[in-house]
Amino acid sequence: MGKPTAGVTRRHFLKTVSIASAAAATGMMATQAHAAAEFTLKYANNLPATHPMNVRAKEMAAKIATESKGRIDFQVYPNNQLGNDTDTLGQVRSGAVDFFTLSPLILGTLVPAAQISGVGFAFKDYNQVWAAMDGELGAHVRKQIDAKSTVFAFEKIWDNGYRQITNSTRPINKPEDLKGMKLRVPPSPLWTSMFRAFDSAPASINFAEVYSALQTKIVEGQENPMAIISTAKLYEVQKFCSMTNHMWDGFWFLANKKSFERLPKDLQEIVTRNINEAGMKQRADVKALNDSLATEMKGKGLAFNDTDNEAFRAKLRSAGFYAEWHKKFGDEPWALLEKYTGKLA
Ligand code: X2X
């Protein structure tokens, strides 16, 4: 700090020095706090910061910092900040990213068995969803993930919700309305297979590129739960929303095994408990939001129509979709799925 210049009173100078010193000290404390984090953990996801996933993730990160007494700096990177889903899956496999929430169907590009929770029209309601995913079907999928990759999934899957079809061309009232429609689907063999069974023209595009693909008409439509149609503002580039509820979808909270194992056991417990607790809160938020948005989305200009699930389910059956995926997953996993859903084909 320089000597007082002519015309600057001594009192003013001392006041400036004390403010500057306090600021420096505060800055130093913040740096020290940051420096105190023994472990910096990066969690990436593909959803807007306003989606309940990120609201709960931020809250969870703060709890982990507090409960670990600052030893963990749990950093949340929403909205594809560290790359799109395909890129980030590679990063969590290598450990460049420590945690990543990913749909079981996109994870299917690495662990095919994980796609079983996304079979079209499988779960009739959330009672069936959570009985299966918190029960033997979820345990089966997590075992496959652990056996086949360098990542593992925490016990409580986070929610995405039931998916609806939006597009800019026509309402989808019956399966025939999907014929030839250029629809974006996430990169996953099952998603592509399902919309081919509907005779549409599915295009695999990562979520990071969906808004622009719809805006430039590379594709006519896409399918997602209402909370994503809203928070990603897809209503700005779509005209119709058909309530097909064609699939329940979730997000496995994935961790790189080596990254997690570097944590001492007490910190592993803090991270595990908070991720599962946040997942349970996020489930409640997502369901409430998905159930609440139709009126608001109508106000944004989306034209809504309901559909007859049975007609779409019958189309999948006649196209051989259920038989194809029963064969791909195998008799035992399929029987495990039907234990919760009832007979599907
Ligand atoms: O990519 C999608 O459509 C999304 C955001 O729902 C998933 O992550 C599966």
* pLDDT, tens digit (0-9, with 9 covering 90-100), for 229-266: 999 999 999 999 999 999 999 999 999 999 999 999 99
Pocket-forming residues, ligand 1, beta carbon under 6 Å = 46, 103, 106, 160, 186, 207, 224, 228, 249
Q: Pull the structure tokens for residue 325.
A: 């995926």
Distance, CA of 60 to CA of 47 (rounded, Å): 16
Q: Which of 60, 18, 25 is nearest to 280 (CA)?
A: 60
Amino acid letter at 208? A
pLDDT string in tens for the chain (345-residue length) = 334 344 445 555 555 555 455 545 444 444 444 567 999 999 999 999 999 999 999 999 999 999 999 999 999 999 999 999 999 999 999 999 999 999 999 999 999 999 999 999 999 999 999 999 999 999 999 999 999 999 999 999 999 999 999 999 999 999 999 999 999 999 999 999 999 999 999 999 999 999 999 999 999 999 999 999 999 999 999 999 999 999 999 999 999 999 999 999 999 999 999 999 999 999 999 999 999 999 999 999 999 999 999 999 999 999 999 999 999 999 999 999 999 999 998
pTM of the predicted model as reported, rounded to 2 decimal places: 0.90
| Nearest atom (ligand 1) to Cα of 185 | 3
Neighbouring residues of 110: CB distance < 8 A, sequence distance ≥ 6 = 89, 93, 148, 149
Q: Where are the alpha helices (DSSP H) in the chain?
A: 10-36, 52-67, 85-94, 104-107, 126-133, 136-148, 189-197, 210-215, 226-231, 257-261, 265-292, 294-299, 309-318, 321-329, 331-341
Cβ proximity of 141 and 116 under 8 Å: yes
Cβ proximity of 285 and 157 under 8 Å: no
Distance, CA of 203 to CA of 154 (rounded, Å): 30
Amino acid letter at 316? L
Sign of CA dihedral 208, 209, 212, 215: negative
Residue 271 to residues 11, 94, 265, 316, Cα–Cα distance (Å): 51, 20, 10, 41
Kindly give the distance from the C-alpha atom of residue 103 to the centroid of ligand 1, in angstroms, as a whole number: 7
Residue identified by tokens 């049975």 is: 310
Distance, CA of 174 to CA of 172 (rounded, Å): 6
Give the closest residue (by CA) to ligand 1 atom 6. Answer: 224
Distance, CA of 102 to CA of 207 (rounded, Å): 11
- Top mutation candidate among 249, 251, 253, 289 for ligand 1, by most atoms within 8 Å of CB: 249
Distance, CA of 330 to CA of 22 (rounded, Å): 66
Q: Pull the structure tokens for residue 194.
A: 């399902």
Kindly give the distance from the C-alpha atom of residue 87 to the centroid of ligand 1, in angstroms, as a whole number: 14
Domains in the chain: ranges and CATH? 2-341 (3.40.190.170)
Distance, CA of 331 to CA of 333 (rounded, Å): 6
